[in-house]
Amino acid sequence: MEMEMEIDDTPKPKGEETKGKPIVVILVGAPGSGKSTFCEQVMASSTRTWVRICQDTIGNGKSGTKAQCLKSAASALNDGKSVFIDRCNLNREQRAEFLKLGNPNVDAHAVVLDLPAKLCISRSVKRTGHEGNLQGGKAAAVVNRMLQKKEFPKLSEGFTRITFCQNESDVQAAHNTYSALGPLDTLPNGSFGQKNPDAKIQLGIMRFLKKVEVPANTVSDANNIQSSVSHKNTEEKEPSYRGHDNISSFSGNASKELKEGENLAVCSSGSHASLNNAPTLAFPSISTSDFQFNLEKASDIIVEVVEEYVNKLGSARLVLVDVSHKSKILSLVKTKAAQKNIELNKFLTFVGDITKLYSEGGLRCNVIANAANWRLKPGGGGVNAAIFNAAGPALEVATKEQAQSLHPGKAVVVPLPSTSPLFSREGVTHVIHVLGPNMNQHRPNCLNNDYIKGCQILREAYTSLFEGFASTIKTQGKLAKVSNENLDSNSSGAQEVIEGANTKHSPNNDQKNKREHKHEYDRSKKCKGSQDEIGANIPESKIGKVDKNNDKIDGSMAKAWGSWAQALHKIAMHPQIHKDVALEISDDVVVLNDLYPKARRHLLVLARSEGLDCLADVSKDHLQLLKTMHDVGLKWAEKFLQEDALLIFRLGYHSVPSMRQLHLHVISQDFDSKNLKHKKHWNSFNTAFFLNSVDVLEEVSSHGKATLRDDESLLSMELRCHRCRSAHPNIPRLKSHISKCRAPFPPSLLQNSRLVLAPCNAGIDP
DNA sequence: GTTCTAGAAC
DNA sequence: GTTCTAGAAC
């Protein structure tokens, strides 16, 4: 039996298929969004051979199965034809198998037809004779239901290119792009045209709070006055960068109106997939812009060093970013990388604004590189100005802590404070400043066309950059997901100025390192003696607590446990007496409901070790216990998820707990509870004060201790929604907002299994 | 950790 | 007048 397919039978020269790279284009859109029309129009005008795989007709004119579609698609691709997968593909799971059709020799693209639901419904309702027999009145209900569960495709799923269309003109543009694609042509990789999915900061509230500064680049809400303020700020701060901005395909949509609640919930369970969690470094081309380094030579060096490092970096990814589609360096590198057979999922080129890769490009990069100046100061233009502007003053302060200046060829890793918008909005945890060689006579340290030296320094710069990136992987604790055998075992990590492979540390920076290490040492002394050195767990009497408190240097934690703070300790020591409250008792832990739950589900997992009062007491010796606590917490979260699949959990510790005895919070993210009354309650679970259990495990395993955020100010921070990050004037208003907010969680939470949620419900196939 | 409550903010 | 916060006591 032959599958029915619509085949473009334009005559083609023999052998053509073997030269061009076939593409599998996975259409994503509700019924009525125009998928079939899109395919038909492209096929009508394209010089490439396309096969449209349509599940509605594949079964001999009738509806077929997914397996039939996959088989037909694979066979067409094998023949060198390009393929449209014409089915809804609205969620990740539905797309997954079709994505596997992509490989180094077949690009997997997505074209998202994200047209207004109303339009799709009215088209579905009106049409007759639709192949899928989805017409008439029931269409509305079906389309609505499907759109509830839609998940936008992401590059991390494995697409090399994603095109988002939100209106007819976007669709037309996409049509033009694909129609014009000859058999031998390729399209630039990347994600194009997506409007910021998370952006809905309430500027009215910001004004209410008398906050003058409005984060640059946030999408304004319906408030036009605020919109113009935001615009003005941006222009004043980064004129030269904005000069290029109009070339970017992401610009120009920033003031699109988004009403609260209108965002469809995006199921984030997909973020558990390994690719999404892969550490990713986005970097601009170094020295080729203002420093006028020869593009041919620069692209050779980039590809050469990338090739060396992709294999050393395990699952981590490198992304070369440029703001313009017309970027010469990007196309040079792409061509040269293709010739080298560098793994496509480990290195990609990307067109977009390096400060908006996630919010506008859907590309998660936890580390970005900055083409810095030697003073490590904001300003200048280009990428440096853009990154400093987008990161806010926090970056400047954090940079100063690491280094005062930079030599050509060197890089410095700067951990980005969580207060930076780049952290909260884009999920960037580190910025690595790199300084390349300068060939521009009007800039300092010009090499006067000495390309022997220049190439050497540029190579050194990329080496330093990638070494720096490798060190963030080690210190950040994504190590578990990275095959680390190739990483440099010297782990002073993030505090270090990274040098090229065969150069020596400058004395200046070594001094810096010493200071940092001393600091670390002091901190470890704060925690209960020097167990690390002795390697034994010294039992501590209750009175010992006081001594420890007196030891505190900064005084912020200098408090003894009050009588009211002993309840958990008593339960942990004598769970049998408290059987009424204990949900589970083992040798290591006791599980109980929080007496004043701050959410629908809120458990505590108590450690039973005497003398283990809080995270500050934790050392490497407790790693196994921490893992047990985590696993027990996870088990309970999963149990609750079986009862209510809509719950989402976080597991973590308070940096400075109020109650004595180490306890892990397992708390659902609805925060729907009458016991959540104060700012302190909210902020203790929704600022850096709350330390994710997964992060604590990682830190204790790599450093022997957790980094506490014992900063009182965190608890009195302004109230922000944990999902959309909008600010709210008081607790009642915040609670009213969070009961409605369905925005996706910030990128940092979506990584590394920091959220625990139910596996996504299987979507409905048309 | 909560409760109570004065007084600030609306 | 009512709502909300924050500090002290427990």
Q: Provide residues 666-685 of A with CB closer than 7 Å to any strand B atom.
A: 675, 677, 681, 684
Per the CB < 8 A criterion, the answer to whether A38 and A54 are in contact is no
Which of helix, strand or coil describes residue A610?
coil
Q: Which of A353, A359, A323, A418 is nearest to A219 (CA)?
A: A359
Q: How far apart are CA A707 and CA A705, in angstroms?
A: 7
The reply to whether the CB atom of residue A199 sits less than 7 A from any atom in nucleic acid chain B is no
The reply to whether the CB atom of residue A562 sits less than 7 A from any atom in nucleic acid chain C is yes
pLDDT confidence of residue A10: 44
Q: Provide residues 334-373 of A with CB closer than 7 Å to any strand C atom.
A: none
Q: How far apart are CA A76 and CA A73, in angstroms?
A: 5
Which of helix, strand or coil describes residue A160?
coil
Q: Which of A331, A267, A262, A273 is nearest to A298 (CA)?
A: A331
The reply to whether the CB atom of residue A733 sits less than 7 A from any atom in nucleic acid chain B is no
The reply to whether the CB atom of residue A657 sits less than 7 A from any atom in nucleic acid chain B is yes
A663 noted as active-site residue? yes
Per the CB < 8 A criterion, the answer to whether A675 and A597 are in contact is yes
Q: Provide residues 542-601 of A with CB closer than 7 Å to any strand B atom.
A: 562, 564-565, 595-596
Per DSSP, A592 falls in state E
Strand B bases near protein CB (under 7 Å) are: 1-3, 10
A168-198 burial by CB neighbour count: b if 16+ within 10 A, else e?
eebbebbbebbeebebeebbbbbbbbbbbbb
pLDDT confidence of residue A84: 93
Which of the residues A130, A663, A722, A737 is marked catalytic? A663
The reply to whether the CB atom of residue A521 sits less than 7 A from any atom in nucleic acid chain B is no
**CATH class of the domain at A535-757:** alpha beta
A731 residue type, one letter: I
List the A677 CA – B4 C1' distance (angstroms).
14
Per the CB < 8 A criterion, the answer to whether A532 and A704 are in contact is yes
pLDDT in tens, A97-119: 899 899 888 999 999 998 877 77
Q: Residue A527 is encoded by which pair of tokens?
A: 């925690």
Which residues of chain A carry a pLDDT beneath 70?
Answer: 1-19, 61, 126-137, 169, 195-277, 344, 475-559, 760-766
Q: How far apart are CA A249 and CA A328, in angstroms?
A: 16
Q: Taking the C1' atom of C10, which residue's CA lies nearest?
A: A564
**CATH fold for domain A6-187:** Rossmann fold (3.40.50)
The reply to whether the CB atom of residue A642 sits less than 7 A from any atom in nucleic acid chain C is no
Phi/psi of residue A448, each to 5°? Answer: 45, 50
Q: Where do the domains of chain A lie?
A: 6-187, 275-503, 535-757
Q: Taking the C1' atom of C5, which residue's CA lies nearest?
A: A678
The reply to whether the CB atom of residue A681 sits less than 7 A from any atom in nucleic acid chain C is no
pLDDT confidence of residue A277: 62
The reply to whether the CB atom of residue A731 sits less than 7 A from any atom in nucleic acid chain C is yes
List the A219 CA – C1 C1' distance (angstroms).
39
The reply to whether the CB atom of residue A261 sits less than 7 A from any atom in nucleic acid chain C is no
Strand C bases near protein CB (under 7 Å) are: 3-6, 10
CATH for A275-503? 3.40.1280
